[in-house]
Structure 1
Amino acid sequence: MILGRVLNAASDVVHEVTSRKKKSHKIIRGTVVLVKNNVFGFNTIHTTVADSVFELIGKGVTLQLVSADNADPANENGGKLGKLESLENWNLTCTPLACGDSLYKVSFEWDEEIGTPGAIILRNNHAAEFFLKTITLEDVPGAGRIHFLCNSWVYPDRKYKKPRVFFSNKTYLPHVTPAPLLKYREEELKVLRGDGKRKLKKRDRVYDYDCYNDLGNPDKGAEHARPVLGGSAEYPYPRRGRTSRPPSRSDPNTESRCFLPFRIFNVYVPRDEQFGNLKASDFVAFGLKGLVKQIIPLLEAIVDLTPNEIDSFKELDNLYFNGLPLPTNALNQIVSQIPLPMMKEFFRRDGKQLLKFPVPQVIKEKNKTTAWRTDEEFAREMVAGVNPLLIRLLKEFPPTSKLDPEVYGHQNSCITKEEIEYNLEGLSVEEALGSNRLFILDHHDSVIPYLRRLNSTTGTKIHASRTILFLRGDSTLKPVAIELSLPHLDGDKFGVVSKVYTPADHGVEGSIWQFAKAFVVVNDSGHHQLISHWLNTHAVLEPFVIATNRQLSVIHPIYKLLHPHYRDTMAINALAREILVNAGGLLEKTFYPSKYSLEMSSHIYKSWNFMDQALPTDLKKRGIAVDDENSQHGLRLLITDYPYAVDGLNIWFALEKWVRDYCSFYYETDKMVQEDPELQAWWKELREVGHGDKKHEPWWPKMQTREELIESCTIIIWIASALHAAVNFGQYAYGGYYPNRPTLSRRFMPEKGTPEYSELERNPERAFFRTMAPQLQCLTGITVVEILSKHPSDEVYLGQRTPGWTTHSVPLAAFEAFNKRLAEIEGEILKMNMDKKLKNRVGPVNVPYTLLYPTGEVGLSGKGIPNSISI
């Protein structure tokens, strides 16, 4: 086979040489930067031999210029093609070990018929793929330097029906695209769409849609089955990327699953969406300890070796400050079964085996290790913690429910004025409502529809909750009442049985109040992970990734605007479906909704509204902000010291200005938006397919005006960058200390006359840990949030882009202005965090709010806004 390919290639060379015209040609010099497959550790002897043979005849990698000026009727009116040219000295080019890049030279013959090259056809005749980064042409007549930003895997040419085409970094709306390039623009989009039927392989670049029918594994038994999410009124959901795996044996509607340990490598995502080499190496260093087949058995073994449960805060604190001594001989046998690099973060080997976790910020200061228990910190984390998205203004008292009374009976709150008025600094309830000083964290309506099933069919025991807070004069919040509810014993139509708890500092009443706050946080932790984090960032954004790649050409201005904000999102979502949000996955193991986790997120997706994801809209809808032309950004915050809202609004309006400047350069009128066929196809497919279960919602922008385009793109980038950063990278800072953010409970609130209440009176710390998660779930939960909170070494932050991404000076200047504004925001955040008048910026635990600080650092830095949802 190799000999035949060599002879064919040699024949091509002879034919080209003999057919060349004798007229003079100018030589254009070019450079190509790529990463060979051996840098990623995939090289083989076969690959090396094949590459060497093709190098001998000079046809390993060929490139062909495509004219942007002159069409060729013989090429279906596509651009005039230049001659095949080859990379020079493939096997003689050294690969720098530091970065893995290899630089090659290539020379092109040029004449007037080629004119300005607008694209390059590249063929890889080697036996293995490589990662193509850039192609640069120098001294092109009439054009000067032309840069091609490729960043794509290129497989052997025989794997493709058509050779790979790469466009220069010029940006074109469809109607101004040079006619000779239209053919290639359209053909490339057809390749990316695929045919919707073929089985997809790792090398494919196809973007397509499917429902979430891959969460369960019914072949393992009924307890592993999960409903299909998406495509029905009962379980609506955003679409995910199609993987083309066959159906399971037990249920034709459920996609079959791969088997660990190869699972993470076998789930299809388009080739260029797969993790890069640096991301892959960081995943080994940081993330492998989260794999179900390795870490969970390890933690189970540790629990077997230390069968006593956690009994006190001091015992838990040892996991961070001193480590937990473990039996050496038995543990050595366990550790030997697991790759050592993964264990370095877990154990130290100095004669003792110690299980030790990084110290979370919330207890990092020695004299602040109990500050998390205060009411002030409990409330502060609703505006500056890891889930600052739910608190809202209370507009009526007592709070009411929106649940259907025909199904769920009476669900309104039973909190009375007498239970809270003594705590309102002399105000009546009516006065507090009228002055916008009562707020609520409401986890009632979202939990009630599943509460009976949760408490009867899983190991969890939880309450629905409402928390009433009073806004003090210094802009801090004070919890004044917590209502915990359970379903009525006689059935849902009889409503709920509720009990109200109010603040207390001492004795058993003080312990009960701490328990009440813990039950609230259990609800908040589940809502945060499954809704604020997974659903409202990861899941809702994936259809945008797919639609953008299917309908917008790489040279379309909106593609270039949005593409950096999609990096690694499909890959991390595919991985999440395999080991995090799947049946029996880590989230089901560690958060209270258990097997109903994603089903509950589907229920809440019914009320998802794309336009509400805009931060100003969200704040106004929650009653946190009101329009005020005399205030910054035209909004006045009712909680003036609301770190997420303050920093978020600064980021939002800086982002919106950048998007506005960018879009206004390419779309001078609304008519240009209306007449852009790619843009209209993109928005139509996004609404009708990607979020197809909500396609009839009236709130979708019609995409008929430039303003609608600006607002939509700003929301997309906000979700991918700042919103995800706000709800993700503080998880370990706050939730790494389990008592501060418990994720499930296994006993109800202790009631007088019960053994649990007696235990609470005798030993409140022991009772707390017996009520919340057992040791295994506690250790697993800490591990999960540690993995999710880390910035990898190849993170790309907001305001950073690959050089040479466009040739237009106006967008480049606008992006530079955006960068400058982000730097100013960083300075403003640092200044506010040092202002002692702003008590919510650091709180009793002395943890500065930096989750929306644009620039980040590797690891558990607790700051930085990545461009994309990459973890």
Structure 2
Amino acid sequence: MGIFPPCHSSEMLEKLFETVCGKIKDEPQTEQRKIKGTVVLMKKSVLDATDVVASLLDRFFELFGKGVSLQLISVNVDPANGNRGKLGKEAYLEDWITKFTSLTAEHDASFDITFDWDESLGVPGAFIIQNQHHSQFYLKKVILEDVPGHGQVVFLCNSWVYPKNRYKYERVFFTNKTYLPSETPEALRLYREEELINLRGNGNGMLKDWDRVYDYAYYNDLGHPDKGKDYARPVLGGSKEYPYPRRIRTGRPPNKKDPNTESRLFLLNLNIYVPRDERLTHVKFSDFLGYAVKSLVQVLIPEMRALTDDTINEFDSFQDVLNLYERGVKLPDGHTLDEIRKCIPWQLLREIVRSENGERFHKFPMPDVIKEEKTAWRTDEEFGREMLAGVNPVIIRCLQRFPPISKLDSQVYGNQDSIITREDVEKNMNGLTVEEAIENNKLFILDHHDALMPYLRRINTTTTKTYASRTLLLLQDDGTLKPLAIELSLPHEDGDAHGAVSEVFTPSEHQGVEDSIWQLAKAYAAVNDSGYHQLISHWLNTHAVIEPFVIATNRQLSVLHPIYKLLKPHFRDTVHINALARQILINANGVLERTVFPGKYAMEMSSAVYKNWNFTEQALPQDLIDRGVAVADPNQPHGLRLLIEDYPFAVDGLEIWAAIKAWVEEYCCFYYPADDKVQGDSELQSWWKEVREVGHGDLKDEPWWPTMQTQAELIKACTIIIWVASALHAAVNFGQYPYAGYLPNRPTVSRRFMPKPGTPEYAELESNPDVAFLKTITAQFQTLLGVSLIEILSRHSQDEIYLGQRDDAPYWTTDDQPQEAFKRFSEALIHIETRIMERNNDGSLRNRYGPAQVPYTLLYPNTSDDKKEVGLTGKGIPNSISI
């Protein structure tokens, strides 16, 4: 049966054909064009080799059209697509089968792609990608050439794309345009909102590599209760007793013995969940694996001890310590490397051993502090200088009341005020009285008393035997700090409420046992400072406090958002580094607990300090004022006058701070010309609310939080975040090996108390002070473990990106003014580099080098590509907390 009536069917067909043709002629015709593009990506690699099987499968399935497709999304609205952008036709990557890419990691591959484009679609604003392969790839960017009426269009992607079956949503990437939420083209708004929803997840389940979920969790993954009470640790965060910043959620199931503790991975398993785009690059992760394996020397200790003599865990002389750098550790008499291999898996030993003549291992690079002068670290001047230009230059304060007083609750801890007297200090004050010194801002203190005393009784029940210390110093006319007295305190044996038991030590004018006692007093103060540095100045005040900002930024700020684009470079690698730290460093019985004096109470103690953390006080000018080392002075370049003019950290830091602030101010003012723009930005307000109420939720009610209602508050907040993530971290991290790589200079543990007259220890101090000193500080195995750790932490990686640089330049934004502002920022940092070197060459500034002849370069930006150095350079400010 035909589809037309039997009569006049040919005439009807003819009329129908004429009608259709006429309509087609009447409708406006749009030109169909081909748009050529380039897709730059990096194929999946397993460390240094590609996944060959997956690669072969992908090539095979390409033959059947199951490849990688892209579908452009227009900025023009299509009602049929739910008021989203109009969709173009799918296009596929070309030449995947025939293009063989490098077998080594970190190599880009470029693929051509051709889109059919209808001019009625307008300009592309995003695209959907589908990966029908069997393995993931890292999509770097997509560049379209000669888009009609628009020229080049760039999509900056920088994200891992997994096979499509891993997602329950479409993977969407946007162009490098920058939009406030209210200014986003309507066609892209739903895509923008849905992408943020996907990144937040639903808060349930164990997360997998491909999940891309940014969510929060407490620090409940440090303990391992299954192994016994010695491995149990309190949950940090979520309580008044143990407040803490939040970390990234993994969703691992609870520990079987303690449901409040998250189950842990096997020690050697470093495949910890973090969103895939936050993971270290293959190059950096390979470096980190080398350090992680070396840090597992702890696994070897029982086997090694079985081979050793009675003194293997002690250095017998300072030359033994120097041998770590000059010769390496000698194997015990009668034993060979082959015997050690029988005890240790060779893969681990290969990372640990640095063979010399076949019988020596673990030779370390020479630390800067002993490179030029082997004994200068023992001088009082170098001891004081490192408080201004060492690895922890952020603690020293101006003393404004004598004697120092405690802020600890006297109802709980009794009298904890200092017992230092005028007689103790005035004999070394160059004729000044205490009152004159205070009036002229010349008395300073390194005070670790209050932070440590509440934990000291418990700490000293372990193998550690240490004190809570106060160190008083005089600022001399030549700009150097002269130590005057060190007070060492212990809890009262009758209970905390009875106050402290303290003893004061002062410099000796004579050689002999008095001088040896003074050297030990300085060592106890250095132990306090080393532990506080690692736990607070370094871990808590940079790594831990920044992680919530990373999480909130990815959850609440779209990649199109200007503040996302501003802050993203300063979050690179931080979440992954922190996750690795929780797995092998700061966990129960981890490397930190084994090498730093608070031991099992380390993280708990950092929680107690976090109670007093204040975001606004992280601004460098405010920090200097709060510590009394600077006063406000509008006539000075940075609005401050330093009370210690030759304070390298502060002098260089203020220049870096000013450059960051100028850059942030220029950038933010471009997008937020008035306060109402800040107030009306829905994503920005959600971001700041989440930072306060969730990421740092234990401190959410503190009155010091900015309200984020003004342009000035936005500028200040972003400047603080960038300063902490870049310059502050550089200042307290990359000096670790130069100064603390030689453990006698920065011991991390003390193993016995100050010897008393009439005891064997005192007799040993009189007869052999060097041996007594070495028996008091960090033991040999702890030294090997600790130095192994800080050697890697102090290295700049091959792929480091420094302040003033962007790995996504020049495509990170299409806006010219921010691009020009960033260029000015980079140029300003280069000028700062020049001024830092000029100051270091000024012989009148004695704190720039000091007796140890170590120049202060920790805040040298290292921005100039032609001068860039990697490794143990002791210089350079990476953009982010990337190690």
TM-score range, shorter chain: over 0.9
Q: What's the offset of the Cα at 1:207?
A: 0.2
Residue matched to 1:381: 386
From 92, 103, 113, give the equivalent of 2:98.
92
Deviations 1:548-595 (Å, cap 9, x if unpaired)? 000000010000000011011010000000100000000000000000
Deviates more, 1:241-250 or 1:419-428: 419-428
- The reply to whether residue 547 of structure 1 matches residue 552 of structure 2 is yes
State whether residues 303 and 775 of structure 1, in contact with CA within 8 Å, keep that contact through their aligned partners in structure 2: no
2:691 and 2:713 mapped to 1: Cα distance? 15
- The reply to whether residue 744 of structure 1 matches residue 749 of structure 2 is yes
Deviations 1:149-182 (Å, cap 9, x if unpaired)? 1111100011111121111111100011111000
2:763 and 2:401 mapped to 1: Cα distance? 38
Cα 1:444–1:44 shift into 2, 3 Å: closer
3-state secondary structure, aligned to 2:764:
helix
1:23 and 1:612 mapped to 2: Cα distance? 60
3-state secondary structure, aligned to 2:436:
helix
Deviates more, 1:322-331 or 1:22-31: 322-331
Residue matched to 1:865: 877
Residue matched to 2:466: 462
3-state secondary structure, aligned to 1:151:
strand
Residue matched to 1:523: 528
From 483, 490, 509, give the equivalent of 1:486.
490
State whether residues 749 and 777 of structure 2, in contact with CA within 8 Å, keep that contact through their aligned partners in structure 1: yes
Residue matched to 1:444: 449
State whether residues 389 and 856 of structure 2, in contact with CA within 8 Å, keep that contact through their aligned partners in structure 1: yes
Deviations 1:391-431 (Å, cap 9, x if unpaired)? 00000000000001100001111000111112111111101
Deviates more, 1:628-637 or 1:296-305: 296-305
Deviations 1:227-266 (Å, cap 9, x if unpaired)? 000000000000000010000011000000011322x11x
State whether residues 335 and 343 of structure 1, in contact with CA within 8 Å, keep that contact through their aligned partners in structure 2: no
Cα 1:562–1:299 shift into 2, 3 Å: farther
Residue matched to 1:113: 120
Residue matched to 2:711: 706
Q: What's the offset of the Cα at 1:112?
A: 2.4
Q: What's the offset of the Cα at 1:335?
A: 4.1
3-state secondary structure, aligned to 1:113:
helix
| Matched letter for residue 755 of structure 1 | P
3-state secondary structure, aligned to 2:285:
helix
State whether residues 470 and 486 of structure 2, in contact with CA within 8 Å, keep that contact through their aligned partners in structure 1: yes
- The reply to whether residue 508 of structure 1 matches residue 520 of structure 2 is no
State whether residues 666 and 821 of structure 2, in contact with CA within 8 Å, keep that contact through their aligned partners in structure 1: yes
Residue matched to 1:8: none
TM-score normalised by structure 2 residue count: 0.93
TM-score normalised by structure 1 residue count: 0.95
State whether residues 341 and 349 of structure 2, in contact with CA within 8 Å, keep that contact through their aligned partners in structure 1: no
Deviates more, 1:338-347 or 1:106-115: 338-347
1:160 and 1:340 mapped to 2: Cα distance? 37
State whether residues 292 and 585 of structure 1, in contact with CA within 8 Å, keep that contact through their aligned partners in structure 2: no
Residue matched to 2:20: none
State whether residues 327 and 360 of structure 2, in contact with CA within 8 Å, keep that contact through their aligned partners in structure 1: no
Residue matched to 1:131: 138
2:456 and 2:678 mapped to 1: Cα distance? 47
Map 1:682-831 to 2 at 5 A.
682-801=687-806, 802-803=808-809, 804-831=811-838
Q: What's the offset of the Cα at 1:59?
A: 3.8
1:334 and 1:183 mapped to 2: Cα distance? 62
3-state secondary structure, aligned to 2:718:
helix
Deviations 1:517-539 (Å, cap 9, x if unpaired)? 00000000000000000000000
Residue matched to 2:580: 575
3-state secondary structure, aligned to 2:112:
strand
State whether residues 292 and 584 of structure 2, in contact with CA within 8 Å, keep that contact through their aligned partners in structure 1: no
From 162, 177, 182, give the equivalent of 1:155.
162
Deviates more, 1:33-42 or 1:519-528: 33-42
2:388 and 2:707 mapped to 1: Cα distance? 33
1:604 and 1:618 mapped to 2: Cα distance? 16
State whether residues 58 and 87 of structure 1, in contact with CA within 8 Å, keep that contact through their aligned partners in structure 2: no
Deviations 1:699-746 (Å, cap 9, x if unpaired)? 000000010000000000111000000000110111010100000111
3-state secondary structure, aligned to 1:629:
coil
- The reply to whether residue 334 of structure 1 matches residue 346 of structure 2 is no
Q: What's the offset of the Cα at 1:297?
A: 6.3
Residue matched to 2:620: 615
Residue matched to 1:83: 89
Q: What's the offset of the Cα at 1:305?
A: 9.2
2:39 and 2:354 mapped to 1: Cα distance? 45
From 619, 635, 642, give the equivalent of 1:637.
642
Residue matched to 1:206: 213
Residue matched to 2:64: 57
Larger radius of gyration: 2
| Matched letter for residue 727 of structure 1 | V
Q: What's the offset of the Cα at 1:339?
A: 5.1
Q: What's the offset of the Cα at 1:277?
A: 1.6
Deviations 1:645-702 (Å, cap 9, x if unpaired)? 0000000000000000000000010000000000000000000000000000000000
From 472, 476, 479, give the equivalent of 1:472.
476
From 142, 145, 148, give the equivalent of 1:141.
148
- The reply to whether residue 681 of structure 1 matches residue 686 of structure 2 is yes
Q: What's the offset of the Cα at 1:869?
A: 0.5
From 187, 190, 195, give the equivalent of 2:197.
190
| Matched letter for residue 489 of structure 1 | E
1:93 and 1:499 mapped to 2: Cα distance? 74
Cα 1:40–1:146 shift into 2, 3 Å: farther
State whether residues 85 and 108 of structure 1, in contact with CA within 8 Å, keep that contact through their aligned partners in structure 2: yes
State whether residues 297 and 785 of structure 2, in contact with CA within 8 Å, keep that contact through their aligned partners in structure 1: no
Residue matched to 1:171: 178
Cα 1:391–1:38 shift into 2, 3 Å: closer
Cα 1:296–1:563 shift into 2, 3 Å: farther
Cα 1:341–1:218 shift into 2, 3 Å: closer
Residue matched to 2:18: none
Query: Structure 1 stretches of 5 or more lacking a match?
Result: 1-20
1:518 and 1:37 mapped to 2: Cα distance? 50
Q: Aligned pair count?
A: 845
Deviates more, 1:830-839 or 1:627-636: 627-636
Identical columns (%): 61
3-state secondary structure, aligned to 2:727:
helix
Residue matched to 1:558: 563
Residue matched to 1:424: 429
1:792 and 1:335 mapped to 2: Cα distance? 30
Q: What's the offset of the Cα at 1:75?
A: 1.5
| Matched letter for residue 810 of structure 1 | Q
1:75 and 1:40 mapped to 2: Cα distance? 42
From 347, 360, 363, give the equivalent of 2:367.
360
Deviates more, 1:420-429 or 1:574-583: 420-429
Residue matched to 1:254: 261
Q: What's the offset of the Cα at 1:306?
A: 6.5
Query: Structure 2 stretches of 5 or more lacking a match?
Result: 1-27, 863-867
1:439 and 1:187 mapped to 2: Cα distance? 55
3-state secondary structure, aligned to 2:744:
helix
Deviates more, 1:497-506 or 1:439-448: 497-506
